[in-house]
Structure formats: structure tokens, C-alpha cells
Chain A
Amino acid sequence: MSLPPAAVTPPRASTHEVKHTTCYMCACRCGIQVTLKEGRVRFIQGNPNHPVNQGVLCAKGSAGIMKQYSPAKLKQPLRRKPGTERGAGEFEAISWDEALEVLTQRLAHLRATDPKKLAFFTGRDQMQALTGLWAQQFGTPNWSAHGGFCSVNMAAAGLYSIGYSFWEFGAPDWDRAKYFLLWGVAEDHASNPIKIGLDKLKRNGAKFVSVNPVRTGYSAIADEWLPVRPGTDGLLALSMVHVLLKNELFDWEFLVRYTNAPWLVVQTPGQAGDGLFLRDAEGRPLVWDQKTNALASGLDVGVAPALFGTYTAPDGRTLRTVMSLAAERYLDDRYAPAQVAAECGVPAATIERIAREMAHVAFQETITLPIAWTDVYGRQHDHVVGRPVAMYAMRGVSAHTNGFQSCRALHLIQMLLGALEGPGNFRSRAPFPKPIPPVQLPENDASVMNAVNTPLGRTPLGFPTRPEDLAIDAQGRPLRIDKAYSWESPLAAHGVMHMVIANAVAGDPYPIDTLMLFMANMAWNSSMNTAAVQGMLREKRDDGEYKIPYIVVSDAFHSETVNFADLVLPDTTYLERFDAISLLDRPISEPDAVADAIRHPILQPDRDVRAFQEVLVDLAGRLKFPAFVTPEGAPKYTGYPDFIVNYERAPGIGFLAGWRGKEGTLPLRGAPNPKQWEAYIENEAFFTHHWADNQKYMRFVNRDYQQAAVEAGFIGKVEPLIMQIWSEPLQKFRLAGQGLYDGPCPTEPEDRARLTQYFDPLPTWYPPIGASAPAQTASSTATQLDQAFPFSAITQRPMVMYHAWDSQNAWLRQILAQNFLYMNTAMAAQLGLKDFDWVWVESHHSKVRCQLKTMEGVESGTVWTWNAIGKQAGAWGLDQQASEATHGFLLNHLISESLPPRVGERRMTNSDPITGQAAWFDLRVRITRADESGVWPTFAPIQRLPEDTAERPLVLRYGQPGGDA
């Protein structure tokens, strides 16, 4: 019965060719080893040396083979067939020469007449440093990537509070944390690093608490699950703040030294200047020095600032410390656990206990590492202290109209515990931390934006600090098509992409000519109100022209959005192109090492496709962007690889930080190295620079780190980066809302009301705005809303498709090709519903019909489904009968891009009023049994593209000659 092993020894895999590159299926950007067999992909595995994934790989990464060989791949440039209607899917193939010539002519005309008529928005790409530079050089402010509908609340809340942020600018110290709180992270963020980290925590005996309405994915293995009601995370966090303050469980030293808790706030309610810091003649914030009993600079050392107290300014104005104001705010009974328990769905005793457990770990299990370091004042320290409580947070906090302030509430807990940037904490990743907020203002000069054939003076996106920084005209009207940086979304640091189509079609604030989209499925799962958005894309003016006259789409695959293009620019796959995963963009650094990476073609395309990066560099030369042409006007770069090597943002600083200098010997900064790509390829496609021990912690005041960061161009100078509990920029906007700001103030009552209510300089909580129903007034109560639409409805991406903008993968769809609406078992029984019942899900805006399943692991007032499983029939290379089209559904139809209209108010974005973050998760619904079956709404099938002759085999046998599509 037994045979020796030799009997079955097959041809050896080790004889195949192995190449290293970087995965592209999500924002993790793991290092991969690709084994090739006779020029085809045989095996993709994690690169064990790579800092991000350390050898492991997720399901998507392994399934990259089926992405590479997907029949949905676009094959050549296409244009909408003349005489056919947009969205009818009638295309004809054209050459690249013709496609680029047509596009160049159109764009050159816009650039020479009204550059803002080009709106250039990109989806889940990883090259925003290039696309942003391109838009800036074109001269249009109308550019952003998908952050506005993804995670801007997390990024902005962190960058306006602590100098780094959840999202990609920080990571928990998995090796040393003893207590870990995960807020609103389903299965859909930081895939492999979180999984690697959770295993480390568990092996080390740390406690893992998950705050999430749904218990799947990471929450499945949490030691404790807090099924919070959607949209109440901020209230829950502030109740923990209440417990910490009430019991004096906070880190006095951290607050005095590293936060603005002791800074003095002017108290002149109803008058200009109220709520701003008292500053000296040099603009330095002042504290009350207990040694001299006098005012002193809050940035100086040697003073002993009072953390609490009420003082009087020389001019007689009353002053209070930030900490006094904060304590007064959060000690109020409003935040007592017993008060918030019902709203949050978490018992009061649990809130109290979790706060005290965190305090115990922070203060009684403190870590001390014998690492000497020097602070920015030049003082030597012989150790670092860690209060080993770490947090991470994402979509569940982010995707609400109160997400920015809720995330600030999480950072407040971290500041009170002194649990930032030390061992065991949430730690920064280079190029962060940066000044709070980063010193980068968005372009907001209308004359610059309107200047023809002229680049913008500044990048389109940045971090406003006061009303003067808004991108509005003299009448207060938005200058950007998405209304980012207007009174409606003042701190829209990632743009407001989900409003672009609706605004452009409404001509509000103005019409555009060309919409250029890259890798963004705006005609389907990336838009709210999907069916109506498809209608908008088809809408015409009285003269018969489309309201958005020209739509250019670049993608590698046949998405629902490609179907609405007038011009299709087919992209390569990630295995077929050069790419820079740049520190100028979304970094992949780890807390202990700065890192960047590349992709390079390990396969040659078998189709007439070009990498979108190449197309952008090509167009930039054709359009004669100053940064892309020689003084004589000839293209400066031979292509994207040449651009990446030779472009310098500042002397010695380019897209790639590794192997710089003529000899390729310099890390981080140095002259361009003509052999830089080769150096990356020789070094497994990534670069790391490890920080010395004395540079690893307390980087907001760490001199040795900051000196290196200045040299690398991450920050401008060595200076203390003081964390901001009280946000003066927010208070300036609030003063503008109150008409008390000495500068621009809004004139419309809705703007005044929003700024006054939401721009609270202290972290605050308010019920999600988007949950309100149409017929109701601003004063309608939460109870009334609960009765009309009793359920919160949320979504998550399954781990096997996390952050994927496509899910046609032949292997992954075997794991999940139909989504259900999941409801708490007991709740379903109460409503007389059971598994596989068809139900109507109705919001104030619309309704969908779908199939129900029950489960224990969902908060009883919440329903949820997998996002973006539903597909339009015929898209993504799938058969028209694919279950994604016949049984899958989107909740997007239920969500309006605008808030429910209120009498007398203008159309207002369904977004966080501070950042413009799309409020996907504010959705409230009611659920009733459907008499009919089948999903609704349904959509007409998308036709196959010309020359799409790829077989859709009934049986696929990958690896067999001719066995793959």
C-alpha cells in the first residue's frame, strides 16, 4: 500500500524562473515572488524579505494568475461608435496614435481656453504623486483620487490631531502592544499586516478588542467583541474619555509635554477671537508657567505649564487651558457610560471596564526600553517609555458624517493615555509624522486656476488651516467641480470624488467638458445612487450634447464604467508594467523602516495596451507641460521609467528613494541614478532604510529622527510637533460660521449652521446627519428616525476581494459570487423572516430587493452585505447569467449622493461636513418581506466589446496547454 516518495517526484518547480515585483490588488502592496514557467505565471507567493507581508500572501494575491488571464482584459483602444448613444456599449477599435491624437487635441483646447473644464479623477490607483503632478501641470484644480469616498476622515482626523494617522501613515506596534482596540475594521483594511499582527498579539498574550457591528473576519478572533451601533463609535470613545478623566487615569507628563492640553484658550463668547489660542508677538501659543506664575511660551522648555486652570490675559480677557475645557466637556453626564449605553449598544459596565483595562495596561504594565535618544530641544533621555495600548481604525468610523470627529475622539483617548509613538503604541510610518496639519495648502487662487496654458502654483490638494485657504471665489462659490475646500467641505483633503458626476451634470458650480477616469468604477459600485448616476452619464443638454460632453476611461478590464466611455484607453495588468510605489505618494514604510518599491514588467502584454503611467507621461509631452518638456519644447522624458529616474521634486528627491546618486550608493536623497530600476530589480523590487534605535520612537520630538527626515525631504525643519487636542483651525471655521471671523465668512444660512455645529475644536459626537429622513426637520429626534427606518445598513468587502476594484476572478468568485443581506437571527425571527426570504430594503431614497440570511454575529439593529459583489450583466468578462448579475445586489442604490432635501436648503452633499468624506454608512433602512422574488433593480446587459473573442470556457484547466481562457 505504501510507495516510496521517489515514485511520485514530479518535474521540479525550482527549475523555473523566479522574479520579484509588487502586488497591486489592494493598498497593502505586498512583495511577491512570481514563478514563471515557459513565460507564463506558474505561482505567486509572498516575498519573505519584504517589510509589508514578510512572506505571506492573501487569497487575492495568489489569485493574481486568474486576474492576469481574465477574459475581461481590454485589448485595444476603443471609441464610442459614431452615431451611437453613450452607454449602449457600441465601440470600435482605434489605434493608439489616433486615440492619443484625438485626446491631445481636445485637452490642448481645454488647456488653452478653460483648464478647469478637465476633471481628472482616479480610483484605487497607487500613483497619485504622478496624477497630481499631471493635473497641476495641466492647470486644473479638478483632480483627486478615491480617498474622499474611502478614508479621508481617518487621514484628516489624524493629520489635524497627532501628525500621523490611521490608514497608511501609522501602524500598531504588534510586537509590544498588550492591549489592542480595533475600531470599525471589518475585513477590509490593511490585509496581511493586520493578520500577521493579530497572530503576534495573540502569541504574546495581548488582549484584542474589536468594536464592530459585525463579527466576521478579524472580529471573529477578537477576545472581546463590542457590537457597537453604526455611527456611535465617537460617542463610545468619548464615554471612555469620561471614565478616564473622572478617575484621573491620564498621563500628565505626556499631556503637558507633547500635546496642547496646557495651552491657553481665549474665552470671549460671541466675540471675535473666542476659542483661539493666546499667542505672543512671535505667534507662539502661551501657557501659564507655575514656576514664575506668569505667561510663557508653550513651545519653550524649562517652564512648568499648568494643565488646568482659568487665568487672565494682560488685556483682561479670560483664559482657560485646553485641558480644563476638555475636562469640563467630557465630565458632563452626557458622556457617562450609563447615558450612552443605549445609544451605542454597549453596556455601561463594559464601557467603564474597557476604559479601566486600557488604563491598567497603560499605567501599570508600562514598558521601559533602555534606548537613549535626544529630543528636539537637545535634551538626552536614557530610555523610552511605552504605555502599551494600541489602536487601529478604519471604514466603520470613517464612512459617516460624524467620522472626522469620531476619529478625533479615538486620538483623544490615545493622547490621554500617552499611548502614541512609544513602544506598544500606534506608531508613525515615514514620511510621517508631519506638522499638524502638514504644511501644504491647496491651490485656491481663481486667477491661477483660470490662467490658460499655465500650471497651478500649488498642488490641487492640501490641508487648509483657516477660511482664507478655501478654494472659493469672491462670492464664496466653490472653485472645484467637487466643491472640495468650499464651505460645504472645508477640509476635503482627498477631494470629493463621489460628487463629481452629479455636480458636473447639474452644472453646479459649473459645467465641464471632459471627465477622465482611471480605474474608478463610477458607473457602478463606486458611486452612490448608481442607477441615477448611469442616467446622469446619458443626460443631454437641449442642444443634444451630453451634459458631460466627453468621458475618457482608462482601465485594464471591462468594467461597468468602461461601457460609458467615449474613449477607452486600455491599461496593462500589474505584472506587465513599471510602477513606483513612492514615498511621495501612499507610503509602504513600516514604523521601524522607511520603504518604497517598484513593479517592473515580468510579462509582455499580448494585447495592444499601454500602462496608464506611460500614457500620462506621453500626453504631458504632447501637451507641453513645463515639467515634462525641454526649454525647446521637446518631450523631456522618453517614457515613464525615464521620468521616474530623472524627475526631482527637490534637488536629490525623486519618486524612488533607494539607490540614488550617480553610483547608486545613496539612500533617500541623491542625484538621479540612471541604473536605479536595475538596482531595484536586483534587490527584489523594494528598498528599505532601517531606522536606528534612537530614531524609532517619540518622533514628534525626536531630534535624530527629524534631522534625517529633513534631509530626506519628509519635513521642512526640526521642531516639536505638538499634538492638538483643541484644534484651532476648526475653531477658525466655527468663528466664520458664527460671523465672528476676521476674514471670509459664509453668507448662506446652511453653511453658517454647519460650521457652527460641527466645527467643534474639541472632539465631539453628533448623530449621523445622513440618517435623517426627507419629510423631517432638523429637529426630528433619533427615535422618530428609528421608527421610520429602524435598521442601519452597512457593507464590507470580503477578505478575498478586499480593496479589489474588480472581482471577476475565476477562483475568487468560486468562494463568493452572490451576496445576501445579513440580519441578526433573533431580530429576523421577531419580524417573521427566515433564511433565503426575499425582502425589500427601503431607504428614504430608493429600494432594492434581495435575499436574506440570518446570523448571530451582527448587532441587532444593523443589517449588512458584501459590497460590490453585484455586477451589471455582461460586465467584467462574465456571462450575462453570472450569479453576480442575477443574484448579486448593491446597497448603493439606496444611498443618495445628496442629503435628504430640506425645505429652503440647497442641495447638500451626503458627506462629512468637515472633510467631504462620503457617508456610505449613515444609511438607514426598513425591511419588509417581498411577495416577488429576484433581485431588483435590474439593468440591461452590457454587450461584448469588439474583438472580444476570448472563449468563456465551460471548464477551465489552468496549467493545461490551451486550458485557460
Chain B
Amino acid sequence: MKRGLVIDLDTCVGCHACAVACKEWNGDSALSGPLADYEPYGAAPSGVWFNRVRHYETGVYPENKTVNVPMSCMHCEEADCVTVCPTGASYKREDGIVLVNQEQCMGCNLCTWACPYGARELDTASGTVKKCTLCADRIDDTLLPPQDRQPACVLACPAHARHFGDFDDPQSQVSQLVAERGGVTMLPELGYQPVNRYLPPRNAPKVSVMTTPDSASLMHKVSGWINKMIER
């Protein structure tokens, strides 16, 4: 089993719905909540987030494009963040989810330095490192209706740009999407084998133009336009 997310960069409008739904669910999750907010009503508000949406531009005006890229834990197969953990707090579950046992974490921050995706954040209020759990406490909760056993970000995404599933199962929706759309990993050259995949923007559909012979140009005929017999 290899659980993770597929994120569709073709439809992500950068609305931050995923990020806030994540903050909301995990903020009161027994796995890692609460998530601290620093100066929530003050000069420089910030806090612990598992999922942050970055906005980039490519190309030069007017041939530019804006790309929104949500970033969270990639649940790497070669997770250095786990290997470097001196206390064993960071671990990878059998289903591939990388987690931090909050009881064992001492907040040394080695794992945040090991992660090239910036996916781990030190919560200075708890003194522990926190990160995306793929909402393990939702997906494992058999009392939730099956359709709700998904990460909060996936449930919330208004553009349906996020999908959760098992990449080991070639029939799963995530595997199929990756196959159909050429899903890619982020920074594969670093060798961590991230599980999450991004679907690149689709090519713009080709639309034909309706052509008309020059003789059809009626510019000169306004006064003598040939009427058609059309009944009301």
C-alpha cells in the first residue's frame, strides 16, 4: 500500500480551501493538534500549517501563465526525515504515511532540515514537529461514512483538484489519473521518491474557427439584406 495525493495543477485556482480545511481538521486532531497560531490578532500573524499554497508565474507578459502549487508532505518512499530522527518519533506506516509521534518528538528540528519540500513545521508551543498526516484519523475512522474517510483537503477542494488513494493499486483513481495525465513528482532528482503526484496543466483545447467565404460578407448588404422565411 502506498497512500498519497494527486494534485491537479490544471484546475487548482489557488483558493487555499485545502490549506484552511487542513488547518481546521488537524487543529483539533489528537494526532498532532492543536496547531499553534502566533500573533493571531497581532502585527505579524503566522502559524503551523501542513499545507501551503504557493503561487508562481511562468513566461513573460502577455504569454505568461500563473500556476498555483499546493505543497504538503510528499510521504516519500525514501524519507530522510524519518532516517535522521534521533528519537524514533518520525516513522512511516505500513500504508506509506509518514507520521510524527508527538509523545516521542523532542523538537530538535533535524527532520525539518532533512525535508527538501519544507513540509515539516516546528510548533513552538508544543515543542514538537508537525506535518501532514493525510488525515490518518479520518481515513482510519470506520465510523465515518466511507465517502468521508478522506483527507480534509480532498473533501474541501472546490475545483476537485485533489485526490487521495493507493498508488500501489493500478486500478485506483490516483493511479489512473497519473497514467492518463502524465502525473509527475516534485524534485525527483533529489532521490526521495515522493509519493504525491502533480498533474501538469492540460494543453489548451483546439477550437476550430468558423470560416465563411468572402461572398458571405454582408457588409455591403445592410439595406438589402436577403430575408429568410422563418415562422415565429
- Interface residues, chain A, CB within 8 Å of chain B? 1-5, 8-15, 37, 42-46, 48, 53, 55-63, 65-66, 71, 179, 187, 191-192, 195-196, 198-199, 202, 205-207, 215-221, 223-225, 227, 245-249, 252-253, 256-257, 290-291, 298, 300-310, 324, 327-328, 331, 353, 356-357, 359-361, 363-364, 799-800, 808, 810-815, 817, 824-826, 855-858, 860, 877-879, 881-883, 886, 952-960, 963, 965
- With contacts A217-B13, A221-B201, A825-B61 taken as known, whether A57 is within 8 angstroms of B159 at the C-beta atoms is no
Query: Given A1-B91, A221-B11, A227-B62, A361–B46 Cβ distance below 8 Å?
Result: no
Kindly report which residue of chain B lies nearest to residue A245, judged by CB atoms.
B218
Residues of B within 8 Å of A291, CB to CB, are 229
B215-232: which residues lie under 8 A (CB-CB) from chain A?
Answer: 216-219, 222-223, 225, 227-232
Within the complex, what minimum Cβ distance (angstroms) separates B232 from chain A?
A: 5
Within 8 A of A (CB), among B1-60: 10-17, 19-21, 23-25, 27-31, 33-47, 49, 55, 57, 59-60
Q: List 30 A-B contacts (CB under 8 A).
A: A2-B92, A2-B94, A5-B136, A9-B137, A10-B29, A13-B138, A43-B28, A45-B21, A46-B156, A55-B155, A56-B158, A57-B156, A191-B158, A199-B161, A215-B64, A247-B212, A303-B232, A305-B232, A308-B222, A327-B222, A356-B211, A357-B207, A799-B13, A800-B20, A810-B45, A856-B64, A860-B61, A877-B41, A954-B42, A959-B28
A634: min CB distance to chain B, Å: 46
Question: Which of A62, A221, A353, A881 is the one whose CB lies under 8 Å from B13?
Answer: A221
B60 with A856: CB separation less than 8 A? yes
Residue pair A328, B34 in contact (C-beta under 8 Å) = no
Answer whether residue B209 sits at the interface, using C-beta atoms and an 8 A cutoff. Answer: yes
Question: Is there an interface contact between B209 and A814, defined as CB atoms closer than 8 Å?
Answer: no
Closest 3 CB pairs of A and B: A959-B28, A10-B30, A308-B225
Tell whether, in the assembled complex, residue B158 and residue A62 are in contact, meaning their CB atoms are under 8 Å apart: no
> Contact at B158–A53, with CB atoms within 8 Å?
yes
Instruction: Give Cα A183–Cα B109 distance, bound, in whole angstroms.
Output: 48
Residues of A with C-beta under 8 A to B141: 12-14
Q: How far is the CA of A17 from the CA of B202 in the complex (A)?
A: 42
**Residues of the B chain whose Cβ atoms lie less than 8 Å from the Cβ of A881:** 42-43
Q: Which of A53, A57, A249, A303 has the most CB of B within 10 A?
A: A57
A799 near B16 with CB under 8 A, answer yes
Q: Contact at B24–A219, with CB atoms within 8 Å?
A: no
In the complex, A822→B205 CA distance in Å? 30
Asked if residues A302 and B222 are in contact (CB atoms below 8 Å), the reply is no
Closest-CB distance, A778 to chain B (whole angstroms): 31
Bound-complex Cα distance A731 to B76 (A): 68
Q: Which of B65-73, B110-118, B166-174 contacts A (4 or more CB under 8 A)?
A: B65-73
Cβ A224 vs Cβ B91 within 8 A: no
**Residues of chain B whose beta carbon lies under 8 Å from any beta carbon of chain A:** 10-17, 19-21, 23-25, 27-31, 33-47, 49, 55, 57, 59-62, 64-68, 82, 88, 91-95, 99, 101, 124-125, 136-138, 140-141, 143-144, 147, 152, 155-161, 201-202, 204-205, 207-212, 216-219, 222-223, 225, 227-232
The secondary-structure label for the interface of chain B is: loop
Give Cα distance in the complex from A10 to B230, angstroms.
Answer: 71
Candidate in B14, B37, B217 with the most chain A CB atoms within 10 angstroms: B37
* A-B contact sample (7 more), CB < 8 A, given A246-B219, A324-B223, A328-B222: A3-B93, A43-B28, A57-B158, A58-B15, A220-B66, A826-B60, A957-B34
Chain A residues, Cβ within 8 Å of B92 = 1-2
Which residues from chain A contact B55 at a C-beta distance below 8 Å?
A: 216
* B-chain residues with CB within 8 Å of residue A824 when the two chains form the complex: 61
A811 touches B37 (CB 8 A): yes
Q: From A310, which residue of chain B is reached at the shortest CB distance?
A: B223
In the complex, A196 Cα to B13 Cα: how many Å? 11
A40 to chain B: closest residue by CB: B28
- Neighbouring B residues of A227 by C-beta, 8 Å: 61-62
Distance from B42 Cβ to chain A, minimum over Cβ atoms (Å): 5
Report the bound CA distance from A346 to B124 in whole Å.
Answer: 51
Least Cβ–Cβ distance between A8 and chain B, in angstroms:
6
A191 to B157, CA, bound (A): 12
Q: Give the distance to chain B from A152, nearest Cβ to Cβ, in Å.
A: 26
B11–A58 touching, CB < 8 Å: no
List B contacts of A886 (CB < 8 A): 43
CB pair A59–B64 under 8 Å, yes or no, is: no
Asked if residues A958 and B37 are in contact (CB atoms below 8 Å), the reply is: yes
Residue contact B41 to A252, C-beta cutoff 8 Å: no
Given contacts A62-B17, A310-B223, A810-B37, contact A221 B230 (CB under 8 A): no
Would you call A198 and B11 a contact (CB within 8 A)? yes
- Taking CB as reference atom, which chain B residue is nearest A227? B62
| B159 adjacent to A196 (CB under 8 Å) | yes
Interface pair B11/A202, CB less than 8 Å apart? yes
A62 touches B40 (CB 8 A): no
Q: A220 contacts B13, CB within 8 Å? A: yes
Given contacts A307-B227, A883-B43, A959-B27, contact A249 B210 (CB under 8 A): yes
Q: How far is the CB of A813 from chain B (nearest CB, A)?
A: 5
Known: A257-B232, A857-B66. A800 touches B16 (CB 8 A): yes
CA distance A622 to B95 in the complex (A): 65
What's the least CB distance linking A883 to chain B, in Å? Answer: 6
Other-chain contact of B20, A59, A205, A304, A954 (Cβ < 8 Å):
A59
CB-defined contacts of B202 to chain A, threshold 8 Å: 202
Q: Please state if B227 and A290 are interface contacts (CB–CB under 8 Å).
A: yes
- Cα–Cα distance between A331 and B225 once the two chains are bound (Å): 13
Evaluate contact between B136 and A882: CB separation under 8 angstroms. no
Closest to A307 in B: B227
A824 to B64, CA, bound (A): 11
Query: In chain A, what residue has the closest Cβ to B53?
Result: A815
- Residues of chain B within 8 A (CB-CB) of A219 are 66
Q: Is the CB of A954 within 8 A of B39?
A: yes
